[in-house]
Amino acid sequence: MGRGEYDAVDVSSAGSILIVDDNDETRDVLQRVLQIRGYVTAEARSGPDALRWLRDGNPARLILLDIHMPGMDGWAMHAVLKSDPALAGIPVIVFSGVDAKGDVEDIVAYVRKGVDPDLLLSLIERTCRPERAVTGSRSPLRS
């Protein structure tokens, strides 16, 4: 797969799971695992690339967001998402190598990289199934 600013894979009308992480290996592994599970994915290397992709009209059903990224970090991207009415409803799971600091409201969960991958996959499944959706209005889960 090419390495443009963002690479989409088979975007469907239901929306993609958008993986936002500056680490190529993390994005590649998440993308492969999610596609094996039948999910449609897209990826972005940075907050600005992800926001551009979303604002270009690409639907996202979930965002997996790293916190520690150069330039715009994950918290800054999350603030932009929440301030934009067109993007504010997209659920966000923070998947990061740094500990949660500050306000983690309005996210589905904060999952630390390196935890059991089944926990992350379970949260993704619950969030992406409308009948069992997890919303940011519930208490955030931490790992």
Domain-embedded: residue 1: no
What pLDDT does 112 receive? 86
pLDDT score for 102: 56
Tell me the residue ranges of DSSP E strands in 76-124.
92-96, 109-112
Q: Is residue 95 part of a domain?
A: yes
Asked if residue 79 belongs to a domain, the reply is yes
- Model confidence over 34-43: pLDDT tens digits? 999 889 999 9
Confirm whether 71 is domain-assigned.
yes
Work out how many domains the chain is built from and give that number.
Answer: 1
What mean pLDDT do residues 47-54 have?
96
46 within domain boundaries: yes
> Residues 106, 90: contact at Cβ < 8 Å?
no
Among candidates 43, 9, 39, which has minimal Cα distance to 24?
A: 43
> How many angstroms separate the CA atoms of 141 and 86, rounded?
25
For 44, the domain range is 6-142
Residue 56 amino acid letter: D
What are the pLDDT digits (tens) for 95-114? 887 766 656 678 888 888 88
The answer, yes or no, to whether residue 4 has pLDDT greater than 60, is no
Q: Answer whether residue 113 is part of any domain.
A: yes
Burial class of 12 by CB neighbour count within 10 A (0 to 12, 13 to 18, 19+): exposed
Would residue 73 count as lying in a domain? Answer: yes
More confident residue, 4 or 114: 114
CATH at residue 123 = 3.40.50.2300
pLDDT of residue 64: 96
Band (130; pLDDT cuts 50, 70, 90):
low
Instruction: Give me the pLDDT at residue 84, please.
Output: 94
Full-model pTM: 0.80
